[in-house]
Chain A
């Protein structure tokens, strides 16, 4: 019964969110049934659709994880977008500028570049927090804009594709591109693996426990002899590295180069997904698939039913609302207790 309840809640939340979405569509004179049919059939109804959904979900899983890990350690990482951009930029450079390597060396190097520069962006905020007490919410918001401007400069300056008018880097070499495996995006499996590893770390290892203790109560952690500074540095380093890897996978597997407009919004969706999953690494996966599927199928829905894809934002907000608000939980008598609080503000 307990298991039933734990999946019942999201199902009911989805149903209500979709029902309200349908009402909104009606208000606009569209046909919700047709819209939803096309939404689902294009997101999940064919192998091409599933492949697209999973491809869209991949960077979202990873950026969701990047937020989740920091949340667990008591940090609110709004900077995933910037870390992801840094990773995308660095991996694109490594992908086009390094020549003459075979795939099995070049691709890991390019992925490493992305991860490293993402982690670097993350640890700047971490170090400022740990050593100078500067709040991570400020630094990560500032770093988002900083990296964006830097990327704009590099893509239009030193890294610009020769002969191209637009701000973008050359295409990465085929030796640095992530191949597709039986039509399914390889990046997705990397993302799933990362989520499982993150879950395992927090569930089973002492390092995970240390991070979490710092997240729950800094004083208690201090008394227990856990270094708060180290935990902050580690979690921002890992969070940034994950975000950077997400950017690299997106660059090397989907976009093929760094082009500023192509990574917009991924980091912010990651925040929402992490919250939707209540900072549970495994719960990030279904959340990201839902987001990826709906975002990816927006075009089909508009094509088939003439409904503006803006409705998707609305439905996703309602899903988040009904999953997290204690309304349905009370109704189906699921006691969630302390679990309800994920973040605990940014007080300390």
Chain B
């Protein structure tokens, strides 16, 4: 009986909820803040993980997420500051992301290059270009403001956690849900996944593998551009060399942690966000005085432990990493 409940798919949620409730009763303000901040920390990771998921579900490994974030946030920031218009900057960042996706598609689909090499090229190219052309002295006209949804944002706990964010945060969450629905419940999703699993059969069934891969990798790039725009135009409001600070690589790990499922990756990213917020909170309240490095290790150790215990072979899309060769009749 007990085992049945422990093994239920809802048990992680029940556990999470009870932990939050326990701490909320102890310190409502800090708990609310930790959960709200974990979204701030986790969302960019989740969005970046979506880039990987969209690519890999159609069979393209994308290790260049970091480069996409870097170059699109760079373009977004500078276009917004030069044009004086945030929306123009947002548009430019999304376009830049799409271009980086297109480049990945060109290298890996048309030219059939090794996909990890293709992604690495995007990463270093982005680092070199943005560092080389960065110029000091530009500022944004403003940033995307926080939107407090009337009524809902006044609810204790849930208000600050769910209903007091910038527009790109809401958009990001919405698009993650859309992606999940699209991937599992629409013809496009079915086609995408079939291209990632059995490109041969998909082709026979009349799905153009090349077109599908181009489309998805480009959309994924645009999503990466949106992530970059979120980081610079909403979260921070400035840009500096190395701005993405490794989030693209963490996102790769979260994508696998979430088993190539948008909701799984979102959960994994929020888990990372919570861990980061808790690490901070331990320092803020100074209740425990263990060296900071150990609290910093927490998310990494927990991730490894969780994966080691839950085991179960995580399987990537079968056709991943392999260029598609049409079988000549």
A residues within 8 Å of B by Cβ? 24, 28, 76, 78, 128, 132-135, 137-139, 141-143, 145-146, 149-150, 152-153, 157, 271-272, 275, 278, 308, 310-318, 320-321, 324-327, 340-348
Contact = CB atoms under 8 A, between A and B. Distances in A.
A317 B121 CA distance: 6
Interface string B2-26: 0000000000000000000000000
A345 B116 CA distance: 7
A282 to B, nearest CB: 18
B253 interface: yes
A290 B293 CA distance: 36
B320 A347 contact: yes
A311 B128 contact: yes
Nearest to A312: B128
B129 interface: yes
B112 A146 contact: no
B61 A320 contact: no
B316 interface: yes
Given A149-B300, A346-B61, A347-B320, 19 more contacts: A28-B132, A132-B308, A135-B316, A137-B252, A138-B307, A139-B304, A146-B297, A149-B296, A153-B294, A275-B116, A275-B117, A308-B132, A310-B132, A311-B132, A313-B128, A320-B117, A324-B113, A326-B111, A343-B114
B70 to A, nearest CB: 12
A341 B313 CA distance: 25
Interface string B149-175: 000000000000000000000000000
B131 A142 contact: no
A304 B293 CA distance: 42
Contacts of B190: none
A326 B325 CA distance: 16
Contacts of B323: 341
Given A316-B124, A344-B321, A134 B308 contact: yes
Interface of B: 61, 107, 111-117, 120-121, 124-125, 127-129, 131-132, 249-250, 252-253, 256-257, 291, 293-294, 296-297, 300-301, 303-304, 307-308, 311-323
Contact of A271 (B114, B120, B312, B314): B120
20 contacts: A28-B132, A78-B249, A128-B304, A134-B304, A134-B308, A142-B303, A145-B297, A149-B296, A275-B117, A310-B128, A313-B131, A317-B121, A317-B127, A320-B124, A324-B114, A325-B113, A343-B115, A343-B117, A344-B321, A347-B318
Contacts of A135: 256, 307, 314, 316
A317 B322 CA distance: 22
A157 B291 contact: yes
A271 B296 CA distance: 26
In the complex, the 10 A-B pairs of residues with the closest C-beta atoms, listed nearest first: A345-B321, A314-B128, A313-B128, A153-B293, A317-B124, A310-B131, A133-B313, A317-B125, A345-B320, A142-B300
A141 B115 contact: no
A341 B253 contact: no
A138 B303 contact: yes
B117 A146 contact: no
A145 B300 contact: yes
Given A275-B120, A324-B113, A341-B114, A347 B311 contact: no
Nearest to B125: A317
Nearest to B249: A141
Contacts of A317: 121, 124-125, 127-128
Contacts, number: 153
A149 B297 contact: yes
B311 A141 contact: no
Central interface residue in B107, B116, B131, B317, by most chain A CB within 10 Å? B116
Given A76-B116, A149-B293, A348-B316, A314 B129 contact: yes
Contact of A343 (B124, B294, B315, B321): B321
A1 B75 CA distance: 45
A138 B114 CA distance: 20
A153 to B, nearest CB: 4
B127 to A, nearest CB: 5
B243 to A, nearest CB: 14
B175 to A, nearest CB: 24
Given A314-B129, A345-B61, A346-B61, A340 B112 contact: yes
Contact of B253 (A138, A149, A152): A138
B83 to A, nearest CB: 21
A292 B257 CA distance: 35
B325 to A, nearest CB: 11
A339 B253 CA distance: 28
Contacts of B257: 138
Nearest to B61: A345
Contacts of B124: 272, 313-314, 316-317, 320
Contacts of A308: 131-132
Nearest to B56: A345
Contacts of B311: 132-134
A325 B111 contact: yes
B132 A342 contact: no
A14 to B, nearest CB: 15
A294 B294 CA distance: 37
A54 B135 CA distance: 34
Contacts of B317: 347
Contact of B127 (A137, A145, A313, A326): A313
Central interface residue in B117, B128, B291, B314, by most chain A CB within 10 Å? B117
B275 to A, nearest CB: 11
A28 B296 CA distance: 41
Nearest to B118: A324
Given A132-B311, A150-B297, A347 B316 contact: yes
Contacts of B320: 345-347
A51 B319 CA distance: 45
A322 B320 CA distance: 24
Contacts of A313: 124, 127-128, 131-132
Contacts of A316: 124, 128
